[in-house]
Structure 1
Amino acid sequence: MPTILISGANRGIGLELARQFSGDGWTVLGTSRDVSAATELAALPNTTVLPLEATDPEAIAALVKSLDGRPVDVVIANAGIAINLEAKPVEVTRADFLKVVRTNTFAPLALVAALKPNLLAGERKVALAMSSLMSSIGANTWATQYTYRASKTGLNAVMTALTLEWKPLGIACGLIRPGMVATQMTNYNGIPVQTSVAGLKTVVENFTTADAGRIIGYDGTDVPW
């Protein structure tokens, strides 16, 4: 069965992704900042828990070293954060802004770039990052969420650039949108995580180079730029 690496797999969407893929027989490599606390993830079948602080280049390098060239079919850069989504412009701090961008924009690019040899060794060769409707400039009709929007729009830009660079190599890069999901990040408001992830799983399983560069929602619809 294929191998999938999911960052931030110790809770929320990441944990449910690991649960559904492992339950379907996939080999799951799930990362967590604190391996000792990732008990639910570790209990899943066909699953290995790996340590990773997604914003730390040294931690990414250690992850790559631990994989030792192991083929990986799919990478999902899922780890992400949100800080003070309702902050007014004057309330947005430099520290918060840079922390969110470092986690949501830089970290996914750094992770998939470091895992390029593993993807090339895999059969499916799919690299995906977790985007959001908040990334859309055209669909922004209600403002707010300044740091989060900027981080996800920036993520769209870097993954699109990576798509153009890697598509000739046979690596399919893209973005997936989980929707408003009832997790800790959203104070458990939104659709059930199982519903979102079931849709995302279908998107991931069918993703090819023909889809490279798209932002596909859990419901199969594209997110407008």
Structure 2
Amino acid sequence: MSGTILITGCNRGIGLEMARQFAKDGWKVIATCRNPSAAWELSELAEAHNNLEIHPLDVTDYGQLADLAHSLKDCPVDVLVSNAGYYGPKGVALGSLDVEEWRKVLEANTIAPCKLVEAFLPNLAAGSQKVIGVLSSKVGSIEDNTSGGGYLYRSSKTAVNQVVKSLAIDLADQGITVLALHPGWVKTDMGGPNALISVQDSVKGLRQVLLEADERNSGRFYNYDGSPIPW
């Protein structure tokens, strides 16, 4: 199985590895990142795979997003992956919450994924598989929250899960499947060196979830290994 996939945040970590695995499998990969000139690993990947193209995109710059969507208006997209995100400052406790940073986290993790779907909805409608994967996090699960804290990042992921659920309902009549995805605690710059899962294993699992998804899965929250996560 192959097709066209658009992935945001491909300069490192999960986005970079996802671009690598899909390109290796023969997919046309549209990889975006804020500053392609500084994304040397992604550039090397594009040199090795002529089926991978790089486009600059800050997902919170909605003018730039509209321009990219216009430039790709004749390109059907089978799978759209909203991967780009922002954790914000770590170790922020109640009593010292930075409201401006909170707004930045919500902008990148909650609003931008929805605007991404808006921009590329015609491309998805023209695709054959019609799958949207939004990278969420298990820390956004209200049921799973037993430790408290993490107000900025947790709230942004809980909110994007609600976005996923509404998108799944609103796009059902177009045959578009929308999933919230937890990549696991991954050894990336964001996950840190103590994380439990390699980026390769995480992406391998996420890729399988995306490629096996259909309308029966839409509006649900999945771990990278395919197991469901409670909201």
- Please classify the TM superposition score into its range, dividing by the shorter chain length: over 0.9
State TM-score, norm by structure 1.
Answer: 0.97
2:144 pairs, out of 124, 134, 139, with 139
Paired residues of 1:12 and 1:184 also in contact (CA < 8 A): yes
SS at match of 1:41: helix
Does the 8 Å CA contact 1:183/1:189 hold for their aligned counterparts? no
Gaps of at least 5 residues in structure 1 are none
2:190 aligns with 185
2:19 is equivalent to residue 18 of structure 1: yes
Contact preservation (8 Å) 1:174, 1:212: yes
Displacement of 1:189 in angstroms is 2.7
* Structure-to-structure mapping, 1:76-91, within 5 angstroms: 76-91=81-96
2:35 corresponds to 1:43: no
Aligned residues: 225
SS in 2 for 1:209: coil
Tell me, in whole angstroms, the C-alpha distance in 2 between the residues paired with 1:192 and 1:90. 35
**Structure 1 CA distance for aligned equivalents of residues 191 and 83 of structure 2:** 15
- Aligned-residue Cα RMSD (Å) equals 1.0
- SS across alignment from 1:106: helix
**What does 1:100-115 align with in structure 2 at a 5 Å threshold?**
100-115=105-120
1:99 aligned residue? 104
TM-score normalised per structure 2: 0.95
Letter in 2 for 1:118: N
Contact in 2 for aligned 1:85/1:148 (Cα 8 Å): no
* Match of residue 27 from structure 1: 28
Alpha-carbon contact 1:85-1:144 (below 8 Å) kept = no
Structure 2 unaligned spans of 5+: none
Q: Do the aligned residues in 2 keep the contact of 1:41 with 1:47 (CA within 8 Å)?
A: no
CA contact (8 A) 1:42 1:48 kept: no
1:100 Cα deviation (Å)?
Answer: 0.1
2:204 maps to 1:198: yes
| One-letter amino acid of the counterpart of residue 27, structure 1 | K
Following superposition, which runs of at least 4 residues in structure 1 exceed 3 angstroms of deviation?
none
CA distance in 1, matches of 2:211, 2:118: 21
